[in-house]
């Protein structure tokens, strides 16, 4: 079986994790979350390659460049989840299995957070489990990729 490489996309303001609204987003930093993903990736025998940007175009470009280098995408698009047709179209365009994750349960928050442009082009969505949402999302994505290759 070929090695599996996962692009991990962190959207705007996630660079402030650990200090930004810890009651909602928890006390772990983005570096902490990336370390959790590295640990899980080692257990799963896959590679994870995180990128974070506050700029929509940078994220779109990174998703475009995923073709040929990655077998799947794990994404927390942050606020762009609810606003970005461009990210939605980039994910649809590369047609890589994508799992959407959120630290908080977006459906228990403000009404505008209940809509995701990403969800219709993702194979699934996990939200509300804090940093564990990322780990669960990675597990689900790897399981999907391995089942697909059988």
Residue 116, pLDDT > 80, answer yes
How large is the C-alpha radius of gyration of the chain? 14
How many Å apart are CA 22 and CA 33, to the nearest integer?
14
What's the pLDDT at 39? Answer: 98
| 82 marked as binding residue | yes
What's the pLDDT at 1? Answer: 43
What is the extent of the structural domain holding 116? 5-148
Which H helix or E strand runs over 101?
A: strand 98-102
Mean pLDDT throughout 45-61?
A: 98
Choice between 26 and 105, residue whose per-residue pLDDT is larger: 105
Secondary-structure breakdown of the chain: helix, strand, coil percentages, each rounded to the nearest 5 = 50, 15, 35
Lowest mean pLDDT among 5-19, 54-68, 110-124, 129-143: 110-124
| 103 marked as binding residue | yes
pLDDT band at 16 (very low <50, low <70, confident <90, very high): confident
Helix, strand, or coil here: 109? coil
| Active-site residue list | 25, 102
Lowest mean pLDDT among 8-22, 30-44, 89-103, 123-137: 8-22
- C-beta separation of 118 from 86 below 8 A: no
| 87 marked as binding residue | no
What's the pLDDT at 114? Answer: 77
Total domain count for the chain?
1
Residue 113, pLDDT > 90, answer no
What is the rounded average pLDDT for all residues in the chain? 92
What is the model's pTM? 0.93
CATH of the domain at 124: 3.40.50.9100
């Amino acid at each position: 079986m070929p090695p599996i490489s996962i692009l991990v996309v962190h959207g705007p303001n996630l660079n402030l994790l650990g200090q930004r609204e810890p009651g909602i987003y928890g006390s772990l930093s983005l570096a902490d979350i990336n370390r959790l993903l590295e640990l899980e990736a080692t257990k799963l025998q896959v590679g994870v390659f995180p990128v974070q940007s506050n700029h929509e175009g940078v994220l779109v470009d990174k998703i475009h460049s995923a073709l040929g280098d990655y077998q799947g995408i794990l994404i927390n698009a942050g606020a762009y989840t609810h606003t970005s047709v461009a990210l939605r179209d980039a994910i649809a365009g590369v047609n890589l299995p994508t799992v959407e994750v959120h630290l908080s349960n977006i459906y228990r928050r403000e009404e505008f957070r209940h809509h995701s442009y990403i969800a219709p082009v993702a194979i699934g969505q996990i939200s509300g489990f804090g940093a564990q949402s990322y780990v669960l999302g990675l597990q689900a994505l790897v399981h999907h990729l391995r089942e697909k290759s059988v």
